[in-house]
Amino acid sequence: MQAATMRCLAARVNYKTLIVICALFTLITVLLWNRCSRDSSPRVLPRDTSAPSPKVGDASISSQQHPPQPPEPPPVAGVASGIKYEDIDCLVNDESTVKGRREGAEVYLPFSWVEKYFDVYGKVVQYDGYDRFEFQHSYSKVYAQREPYHPDGVFMSFEGYNVEVRDRVKCISGVEGVPLSTQWGPQGYFYAIQIAQYGLSHYSKNLTERPPRVEVYDTAEDRDGRAGAAPWTAAKGCVLSRVHDKTRATSVRQFNAPESSEGVSLQLGNSKDFILSLDVKFVSNGSVSVTLETTEKGPPFTIRYVTNAQLVAFKDHEITYGVGPRAAWSTLTRDLLTDLRKGVGLSNTKAVKATKIMPRRVVRLVLHGRGFVDNVTISTTAHMAAFFAASDWLMRNQDERGGWPIMVTRKLGEGFRPLEPGWYSAMAQGQAMSTLVRAYLLTRDPAYLNAALKAVGPFKVPSAQHGVKAVFMNKYDWYEEYPTTPSSFVLNGFIYSLLGLHDVSETAGEKLGREAGLLFGRGMESLKAMLPLFDTGSGSIYDLRHFMLATAPNLARWDYHTTHINQLQLLASIDSAPVFKDVVKRWKNYLKGIRAKHN
């Protein structure tokens, strides 16, 4: 009996022990499960920009030394830091739904949606080895005004303009030496605004940049007791000699190279600069060819400048520009980089095709035909050559009324009558005047000043009578960039016209410049009175079509808005009227999202 009792007691004890063991096992299993769940949660780790950690036992680093540690990364929110996100739908204006995230009381929406909805800008950039997000209310910047403004100084912020690289510039004409525009027609046409801007930009660059590096490859003149040495090569059937030119009173090189020959060549080998210049005179049809090594694998490119009126052509790594007959001595200056890229990107559309091809080395120059050559150079820039190409084009192409007719149809928008070819632009007149005045101040050639004075003519003629003058509310004179019917009152073009009138008035003096001065004064009165009409409270307006056509306002893009500010800053250096400084301050705030107060 006693033995049976002991066996029952042992069984009960073993049963309790088993229960305890099972309970402990269950508890341990739950704890391990929770720990594994936490360890497997996603977390964002900072990138390690330091060198790899040394292996244990590495003899090069003692136990007392440690590699330098990277800076602490910015805090990263997520599940690992105890902050939980959850998806949430955002209903926008009762019309559409955007997927967002909620963190407590905060709701976050995708920036791709914010960017489009609010017309703002942002991007992820690297900063101190880590990513950060940079947000901008606008994409355009305001330039610091150089005070005071002078007609012989830098023109606004045009030193930053690169007219020739615009995709709406087909090429730089080899005959005229100025841009050919395709802005309103793929066939290309000469547009006085584009040409004046080309001249003013190079003029301004010449004042703000260092003098160019110039490498002289050949000059036949005897200087310092010896003629300029150059590795010229005359191929079989070609002749090259040094002769005296009476018209230039200097020695030059005479060449005779049949088109069927390999020509007369000059080795260049320049891999730093790409502005080619040479003095040349042809007595027959001929060409100047330049061989370029480029970033593209394969055969080099050849740019041929031929003595005809062809615009530009491209075929099989050969680009051809017509440069006119060149029957008298002239200087041929070409930007080989621009000529290469415009040729390769040649298209039948309004825009030149983008290309990544870049020149690496100017290999050699080859002459064909019969003629003379001198002063072969390659330089970093040739700003003044471009400036005078524009100034001289404006001189040659001004009509009897003092204007530069624009020979393309311009459709400003619905509600405006199209401008037929032959229309004048006050902006073209003004920027041409600013260009010609600077050419006069550099050379003191009265022909430039006379052309600038003659350009005042269209300002006195109403738009309806083939002029550029409009009148707002029968009171305020306005000079039209686009002399439309009804009037459009474009702000930036009007201010550019005022600058041209100011330049002529200041340069020509009280007597000759009186008419330009009166037109400038009336225009400034109009601007001061009408400027508030271009203010939206959060930006500026391009023109007044909303007033003239009773339509929605034509809001200025941010680059036009900053142009307005830059122009008004310049005018504030000429005229101390408070309205200019007040508007500049307010419009600068709009760039940062600071709006006008509401009621």
Give CA angle at 242 (239, 248), nearest 5°.
Answer: 125
d(CA 571, CA 520): 12
* Edge-to-edge strands, sheet with 106-108: 86-92, 96-103, 106-108
On the question of pLDDT at 331 being above 80, the answer is yes
- Indicate the SS3 state at residue 595: coil
Cα→Cα distances 387→203, 366, 383, Å: 6, 27, 6
In the chain, the percentage of residues whose pLDDT exceeds 70 is 86
In this structure, how many other beta carbons lie within 10 angstroms of the beta carbon of residue 276?
Answer: 25
Residue 428's contacts (CB-CB under 8 Å, 6 or more residues apart) are 191, 192, 193, 196, 403, 404, 406
Tell me what pLDDT residue 146 has. 80
- Rounded to two decimals, the pTM is 0.84
Q: Are 481 and 524 in contact (CB under 8 A)?
A: no
Torsion angle (degrees, nearest 10) of CA 264, 269, 273, 277: -10
Tell me what pLDDT residue 351 has. 86
Residues 560-573 pLDDT 10s:
999 999 999 999 99
- The answer to which of 61-75, 221-235, 350-364, 555-569 has the lowest mean pLDDT is 61-75
On the question of pLDDT at 122 being above 70, the answer is yes
* pLDDT, averaged across the chain: 89
Q: Length of the chain, please?
A: 599
Q: Are 37 and 15 in contact (CB under 8 A)?
A: no
Tell me what pLDDT residue 225 has. 44
Q: What is the mean pLDDT of residues 448-470?
A: 98
Tell me what pLDDT residue 257 has. 98
d(CA 317, CA 295): 13
In this structure, how many other beta carbons lie within 10 angstroms of the beta carbon of residue 46?
Answer: 14
Tell me what pLDDT residue 9 has. 43
Cα→Cα distances 434→159, 441, 564, Å: 15, 11, 18
Tell me what pLDDT residue 72 has. 60
Residues 32-89 pLDDT 10s:
655 554 544 444 444 444 444 444 344 444 444 455 555 565 555 555 556 688 999 9
Cα→Cα distances 575→148, 394, 568, 572, Å: 10, 29, 10, 5
d(CA 599, CA 590): 18
- Indicate the SS3 state at residue 33: helix
Cα→Cα distances 398→112, 165, 343, 540, 545, Å: 50, 26, 29, 34, 30
**Which of the 8 DSSP states describes residue 271?**
S
d(CA 205, CA 158): 8
